[in-house]
Structure 1
Amino acid sequence: MEERAGVLDDLAELEVFRTLLEPTGIKGIVVDCPDCDEEHHVDWALMQANLRQLLDEGQTGRHEPPFDPNPDDYVSWDYASGYADGVAATAEQEEPSGRHNAGKHAREE
């Protein structure tokens, strides 16, 4: 159940990341693969599909990586998370009511 909750959190975070970063030209997430010791560039829709498959089947299948991706079009999960936190912090500072929001996205650490 704990792993399932983590994947659900990842899906929620991914949606936030996509909403914030896709309009800036970012196409997805770059993931370090321990199996082949290479980076995989995974677009938003494929990453979402992988996470959903992990929820449904307990594992992800193999997928074809994009052909000759431009690394500048992809960011790490940590970068996307920091970006989302920065946007939330900026929104909190600009909030006219003076109330303070949590300033964090789906995964609280």
Structure 2
Amino acid sequence: TDLILQAALPAILEVLIFNNNKGTAIEIVKHVALPEQSEGQQLRSAFIAVTEKHLAFNTNQYFQFANSLAKVIPNVMPKLLPGIRKQVVEVERMRGVGYDNTLRQGLERLEALLK
């Protein structure tokens, strides 16, 4: 089960970013995110991998995805914020800017949603 989840979770999260038919993917994420599930760490790892892959080039879609997850798994998303913040700084560094307004606004909206 662990190996299957490790391979499948990034693709499931990408369905949430890019596909309009999200129902099944949301149900899988809800199940995997349950506190008593050992797969929670795999979800966090998959989320960070998807963040690293898509934040820079699909910023608006990425934050729509993250905001959707904040509503579905509000107990897990605060634990993911440090990784998102780190990646925002990394993307700004790669772009050669100290502050990217689109990235920061998306992050601020997500943080406000989680308060």
Does TM, normalized by the shorter one, top 0.5?
no
In the superposition, the TM-score normalised over structure 1's length comes to 0.32
Quick check: which one's helix share is greater? Answer: 2
Report the structure, 1 or 2, having the larger strand content.
1
For the pair shown, which has the larger CA radius of gyration, 1 or 2? 1
TM-score (norm 2): 0.31
